[in-house]
A = this chain, B = another copy of it.
Amino acid sequence: MEIEDKNNLREDAESIFYAGLEAVEPSKAVRTYMKKTHNTLKIGETVYNLSDLKRIFVVGFGKAGYPMAKTVEEILEDKITQGCVVVKYGYSGHLEKIEILESSHPIPDEAGMKAAEKIISLLSKTKEDDLVICLISGGGSAILPAPIEGISLEEKQKVTQLLLDCGASIEEINTIRKHLSRVKGGQLARLTYPAHLHSLILSDVVGDRLDTIASGPTVPDRTTFKDCWEIVKKYELESLLPQSVITHLRRGIEGKIKETPKPGEPIFDRVNNLIIGSNILALKAAKRKAENLGYNCLILSSFVEGETREVARVHAAMAKEIISSGNPISPPACILSGGETTVKVKGKGKGGRNQEFSLAACIDIRGMNNTLILSAGTDGTDGPTDAAGAFATGSTWRKAKEMGILPEEFLENNDSYNFFKKVGGLFLTGPTNTNVMDLRIILVAEKNQSK
């Protein structure tokens, strides 16, 4: 039996991961932030007097839409007048008051456009004393496509592709997309005004920027038609973009089309945006669990990005220092990090960024007793595999070598899934119904913990 097993490091890592996951489980997250009494509805710090509200509507879009809507229905019961929430194909279910529609992700489709029409028409019915609860989660932008009149879905997709091809940044792409949409960039808030609007948001982007999650339908937009035009000129796209798009942007600059709502506009006095699930919230819950298990724990960052194997090396370097000098914290130590790394695929193997992280880490932590690293995606899926991630310990490398398997070769071939399938260490959770990117857990037990 390995020393790591004796220390139950693997078991501890699993419970720490699941504690993080539980905090951002859509249903749990809604319940944490939404409380109803006989007379009031409290969402976050905002208290609505139920007798002041004429009607309550529920709209939403994103992969986690169904469990979020289900919970809202359970909490509000018969208080909901009407609702419409759009989810990805296969993610739906039946509810009493809220209609659940399905559409396509990541490539939007006609069904998504029809669903958007339905939501827009529902919002047009709302009045000053109404409350609209808007449930936003990952994938919401593709799931609810609402191109402006005169531009087809295909044309809008062509624009995105052209921008990607010319190397435009994600900020530049979003600037243009917001100005070709009827809901993105705060425009859903405008459609809702003067009703109250309260968004419950499950963030799947690094940094949790409200104007980025699902393209910020309920937040002020700082970008303008003028910015769009500068991007068109910068990448010399004037002759490449569909004529309908050029015409629309031109009319926008000429002031013939209303800008997206800007910061300070009165619309937003009636709007509340509340993040109910995010990577940092998962990390904080994971930290509480780790501390309950007796670990000294620190959260490194929820903003971690970059090439997976290099990021893994920095994490392994921390494990080494914990053992060597007790910095940044002394054993039993738990370091948590989040965010989402990338993999520049060069090989032909099977894997995902989390399994590749653990594979790279196992090379650097080889021979280190009492050390375990777990990297896993909170959505339960890592790349095109059935695993959420993988465990690496100080003995994984040696174990592989003894089996005649070379970790370095599997890493070179981006074949992390087959590596851990052979050597052991795959972490399988099944679908989790949520997504706040990845969690990484480094555990270093006390030297003599196993004695």
Query: A-side interface residues toward B, CB under 8 Å?
Result: 207, 280, 283, 298-307, 310-311, 313-314, 316-318, 320-321, 324-325, 327-328, 339
Q: With A280-B321, A302-B325, A303-B321 given, can you name 7 additional A-B contacts, CB distance below 8 Å?
A: A207-B324, A280-B324, A299-B325, A300-B317, A301-B314, A303-B316, A303-B318
Q: How far is the CA of A86 from the CA of B328 in the complex (A)?
A: 37
Q: Is the CB of A299 within 8 A of B327?
A: yes
Report B-chain residues with C-beta under 8 Å of the C-beta of A313: 304-306, 311
- Shortest Cβ distance from residue A276 to the other chain B in the assembled complex, whole angstroms: 16
Report B-chain residues with C-beta under 8 Å of the C-beta of A299: 321, 325, 327-328
Report B-chain residues with C-beta under 8 Å of the C-beta of A302: 321, 324-325
Q: How far is the CA of A302 from the CA of B280 in the complex (A)?
A: 26
Q: Is the CB of A307 within 8 A of B304?
A: no
Q: How far is the CA of A16 from the CA of B300 in the complex (A)?
A: 22
Q: Is the CB of A303 within 8 A of B280?
A: no
Q: For residue A328, which residue of chain B has the nearest CB?
A: B298
Report B-chain residues with C-beta under 8 Å of the C-beta of A307: 307, 310
Q: Is the CB of B301 within 8 A of A318?
A: yes
Instruction: Choose among B207, B298, B304, B318 the residue that contacts A327 (Cβ–Cβ < 8 A).
Output: B298
Report B-chain residues with C-beta under 8 Å of the C-beta of A301: 314, 317-318, 320-321, 327-328
Q: Indicate whether A303 sits within 8 Å of B328 (C-beta atoms), given known contacts A311-B310, A314-B311, A314-B314.
A: no
Chosen A-B contacts, 20 in total, with CB atoms closer than 8 Å, are: A280-B321, A298-B298, A298-B328, A299-B321, A299-B325, A300-B317, A300-B318, A300-B327, A301-B314, A301-B321, A301-B327, A302-B325, A303-B317, A303-B320, A305-B317, A306-B310, A306-B314, A310-B311, A314-B314, A317-B339
- Shortest Cβ distance from residue A334 to the other chain B in the assembled complex, whole angstroms: 12
Q: How far is the CA of A283 from the CA of B328 in the complex (A)?
A: 11
- Shortest Cβ distance from residue A329 to the other chain B in the assembled complex, whole angstroms: 8
Q: How far is the CA of A325 from the CA of B328 in the complex (A)?
A: 18
Q: How far is the CA of A283 from the CA of B324 in the complex (A)?
A: 13
Report B-chain residues with C-beta under 8 Å of the C-beta of A300: 317-318, 321, 327-328
Report B-chain residues with C-beta under 8 Å of the C-beta of A316: 303
- Shortest Cβ distance from residue A408 to the other chain B in the assembled complex, whole angstroms: 10
Q: Indicate whether A324 sits within 8 Å of B310 (C-beta atoms), given known contacts A317-B339, A339-B317.
A: no
- Shortest Cβ distance from residue A327 to the other chain B in the assembled complex, whole angstroms: 4
Q: How far is the CA of A321 from the CA of B306 in the complex (A)?
A: 16
A301, A316, A320 — most chain B CB neighbours (10 Å): A301
- Shortest Cβ distance from residue A273 to the other chain B in the assembled complex, whole angstroms: 16
Q: For residue A313, which residue of chain B has the nearest CB?
A: B306
- Shortest Cβ distance from residue A25 to the other chain B in the assembled complex, whole angstroms: 21
Q: Is the CB of A325 within 8 A of B207?
A: no
Q: Is the CB of B325 within 8 A of A280?
A: yes
